[in-house]
Structure 1
Amino acid sequence: MTQNKVELAEKLSKESHQGQKYGPHDYFDYHIKGVVNSLIEHQFSEVYIITALLHDSVEDTPLTLAKIESLFGKEVRDAVDALTKRETETREEYLIRCSSNPIARVVKLHDAAFNAHNSHKESNQSRVDYYLQTMLIVSTAQDKLR
């Protein structure tokens, strides 16, 4: 992958999430970039960065998996698909399925950690607990897949 693909994913994500909010913050600048920055800080490769940039795109915007695959390849498409909750899935089913993809598992853990940290800053203990439980399910889901 090239830096141009990261830049394209960033542009596409920013455009797709335009007008969305994360509390009082811009969704892309605050949440998406927050998750991406965590992955960069931990030195994950570009495929993880691109997946993180697009991790909420199919669920929250008109962007399709077919478009993602045409621009970024099957590996990113499969990871984003794993991160996209189906309407018929329970939360636990979704998290276990998400965990079956190694890229999606890492991105989901960073996503949940970001959300837990933000919930803590807002003194919202029930949301902190929710995201900690998410992290626990995702990190132990491999046991359920065997």
Structure 2
Amino acid sequence: MAMAYLIASYAHKDQKYGEQDYIVHVNMVRNKTHELFACGDYKRDFMLDDLACLHDVIEDTELTIEDIRAKIGHKPYPVEQLIKALEAITKQDQESREDYIARCVENPLARKVKIADTLSNLECSIKSNNQRRISKYTNQIKRIYELAINSEWHD
């Protein structure tokens, strides 16, 4: 089992995503990331999977970037790329949602996982018929694509 998944499992162990354990959301984001963006490049796909596992760890738990750097171990890709993407996908205190999304979209790995995260959240919101969240995530995915329209999607 991948270290990033073990870190996420431990970090989110007492959290819920709706009625389910939070790791269910992590797995949804992993699956959506793979479905949309797997390219057959082992190193790139592995890094995307690790980022999908860790995408909420810094924002929603007590772990820090330094904790992740220390725990992640040896990888077949440059770990600092993962760290930069993790920093990009983590909303900062006092940061507006708009500034956060704009910053996240600038990092190609973070952008891909944020798209998968947003679509997973939208899917769950539709299933539960939560109109407020449907609106939020519909607007968010639209904004991500507006900001990223000039970006290279397969970088």
- TM-score normalised to the size of structure 1? 0.88
The Cα shift of 1:19 comes to 1.0
1:105 aligns with 2:111: yes
- More helix by percentage: 1
Among candidates 20, 24, 27, match of residue 19 of structure 2? 24
**Where do residues 109-120 of structure 1 align in structure 2 (5 Å cutoff)?**
109-120=115-126
The Cα shift of 1:143 comes to 6.3
- Distance in 2 separating the partners of 1:60 and 1:141: 25
1:47 aligns with 2:47: yes
- Distance in 1 separating the partners of 2:132 and 2:150: 25
Q: 2:76 is matched with which residue?
A: none
Pick 1 or 2: higher relative contact order, CA cutoff 8 A, min separation 6.
2
- RMSD value, Cα: 1.8
The runs of 4+ residues in structure 1 deviating greater than 4 Å are: none
Summarize deviations over 1:110-146 as a string: whole Å, max 9, x none. Answer: 000000010000011221111011111112224699x
Q: 1:75 is matched with which residue?
A: 81
Q: 1:125 is matched with which residue?
A: 131
- Distance in 2 separating the partners of 1:139 and 1:27: 26
The Cα shift of 1:64 comes to 1.3
Q: 1:60 is matched with which residue?
A: 60
% same residue: 33
Among candidates 122, 135, 138, match of residue 141 of structure 2? 135
- Distance in 2 separating the partners of 1:40 and 1:124: 26
Summarize deviations over 1:9-67 as a string: whole Å, max 9, x none. Answer: 11111000001001100001x10011001122332511110001000000111221123
Unaligned runs of 5+ in 1: none
Q: 1:33 is matched with which residue?
A: 27
Paired positions, count: 139
Q: More deviation in 103-112 or 62-71?
A: 62-71
